[in-house]
């Protein structure tokens, strides 16, 4: 990994860590937005509650999930897909809060991806013991756009591999406000997070939240 610095909107110096070609960590990029993002999470999940989805193979995911924006990502016995309605109530997913979209666009631009226009935001809630195994984000029709992943709350270890599941994996500790952005040649690289350890965060309590922004169509 390599380290660089950039000036944020307030003139403060923030660190950029390069994970691979096309993939970076923007350290602390979303820290100041934390209260607004949490308010957005509460608003979205008031209409589309967190739920633990099942994989096509019948495994219940340990992270609870909700979505917002024109499209939401769904997994069940029928497979992985994006759809415009929440399967719990057959209603459209809640609109993506402005604070969400604005942060995603700024982060993508800071990482070298101007013009990002996300149409889906996945909200994952991790409680102690939850994890996400190595996987690719490949259900999107538009693979030219990056993935923007925002960490809120408790620290967690992000894993970033390569184009093949068996490729070497690096472990990247993520703290509250860190944003990972990847695209280009690394857009389909395997990634995941290790098991969340118990703790307490002043904004999120015993949880870690992750906002993942994508351009699905």
3-state secondary structure of 88: coil
How many whole angstroms separate alpha carbon 179 and alpha carbon 147? 10
The overall average pLDDT reported for the chain is 94
CA 81 to chain centroid, in Å, comes to 17
Q: Measure Cα distances from 144 to 87, 99, 113, 173, 204 in Å.
A: 28, 24, 10, 27, 33
Q: What tokens does 11 get?
A: 């003139």
46 exposed, middle or buried (CB, 10 Å; 0-12, 13-18, 19+)? exposed
121 neighbors 67 (Cβ within 8 angstroms) = yes
**Does position 32 have pLDDT exceeding 70, yes or no?**
yes
Distance CA 175, CA 28 (A): 8
115: left (phi over 0), alpha (psi -120 to 50) or beta: left
- Which one, of 10, 209, 14, lies nearest residue 110 by Cα? 14
pLDDT digits (tens, 9 = 90+) for 167-197: 999 999 999 999 999 999 999 999 999 999 9
Could you report the per-residue pLDDT of 66-105, keeping only the tens digit for each? 999 999 999 999 999 999 999 999 999 999 999 999 999 9
Element at 102 (helix H, strand E) = helix 98-110
Q: pTM value?
A: 0.93
Do 1 and 171 meet the contact criterion of CB atoms below 8 Å apart?
no
Q: Per-residue b/e over 123-133, b at no fewer than 16 CB within 10 Å?
A: bbbbeeebbbe
pLDDT attached to residue 11: 47
Q: What is the domain count for the chain?
A: 1
3-state secondary structure of 79: strand
CA 14 to CA 28: how far, in whole Å? Answer: 7
Its domain, for residue 82, covers: 2-214
Distance CA 169, CA 135 (A): 12
Confidence (pLDDT) at 8: 52
Q: What is the DSSP string of 174-215?
A: E-TT-EEEE-GGGTT--EEEPPPPP--BTTTBT-EEEEEEE-
CATH at 21: 2.60.120.590
């Amino acid at each position: 990994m390599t380290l660089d610095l950039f000036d944020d909107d307030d003139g403060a110096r923030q660190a950029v860590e390069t994970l691979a070609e096309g993939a970076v960590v923007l350290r602390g990029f979303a820290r100041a937005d934390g209260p607004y993002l949490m308010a957005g999470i509460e608003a979205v999940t008031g209409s589309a509650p967190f739920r633990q989805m099942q994989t096509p193979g019948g495994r219940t995911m340990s992270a609870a999930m909700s979505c917002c924006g024109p499209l939401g990502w769904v997994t069940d016995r029928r497979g992985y897909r994006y759809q415009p309605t929440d399967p719990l109530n057959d209603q459209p997913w809640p609109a993506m809060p402005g604070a969400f979209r604005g942060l995603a666009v700024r982060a993508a631009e800071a990482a070298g991806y101007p013009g990002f226009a996300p149409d889906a935001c996945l909200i994952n809630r991790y409680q102690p013991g939850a994890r996400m195994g190595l996987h690719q984000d490949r259900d999107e029709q538009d693979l030219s756009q990056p993935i923007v992943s925002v960490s809120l709350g408790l620290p967690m270890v992000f894993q970033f591999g390569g184009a093949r599941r068996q490729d070497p994996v690096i472990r990247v500790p993520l703290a509250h406000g860190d944003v990972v952005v990847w695209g280009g040649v690394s857009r389909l690289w395997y990634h995941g997070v290790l098991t969340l350890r118990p703790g307490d965060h002043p904004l999120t309590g015993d949880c870690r939240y992750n906002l993942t922004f994508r351009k699905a169509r």
